[in-house]
Amino acid sequence: MMAQMLVERHGYAVRQACDLLGLPPSSYYYRSQAVEDQRLEVDLKLVAGQHPTYGTRRLMHQLRRKPYGYRVNRKCIQRLARRFDLLRPVKRRTTRTTDSQHPYPRYENLVKNLDNRLSQPGLGL
């Protein structure tokens, strides 16, 4: 913050101001993400409240649009949504493989009453 004041008000070069304060030049360009994260949390809760059926992909796209304009990826949104319990349960698709309500005749199980001679020891099969 001090380096920023020296550069903006007194016209120092960034490197000179940082050398004077004993700081690396990267500290001049560093922006804390804590304030932006707090705004993102508030906006995420707002968007998730407006669209309760949205998952992390749709929430991410909403937060990237105007008026929000965040530059966030899906993993960041997923981590925050998990922290605030905003995640939707995943709908698993199931495929029905058996249709018992067909008009065709059912055949009896011919293997059901077979003798288990093949599984006995000593037959050599």
**pLDDT tens profile 28-83:** 888 777 767 889 999 999 999 999 989 999 999 999 999 999 989 999 999 999 99
The secondary structure of the chain in percent helix, strand, coil, rounded to multiples of 5, reads 50, 0, 50
Token couple for 61: 């796209």
* pLDDT above 70 for 121: no
At residue 112 the predicted structure's pLDDT band, cuts being 50, 70 and 90, is confident
* Position 49 in a domain: yes
Name the percent of the chain lying above pLDDT 70: 90
C-alpha 83/C-alpha 75 separation (Å) is: 12
Owning domain of residue 11 = 1-30
The total number of structural domains in the chain stands at 2
40 and 4 housed in the same domain: no
pLDDT of residue 122: 62
Token couple for 4: 């920023």
2 and 50 housed in the same domain: no
* Position 123 in a domain: no
For the full predicted model, state whether its pTM sits above 0.85.
no
C-alpha 117/C-alpha 35 separation (Å) is: 76
* pLDDT above 70 for 117: no
51 and 65 housed in the same domain: yes
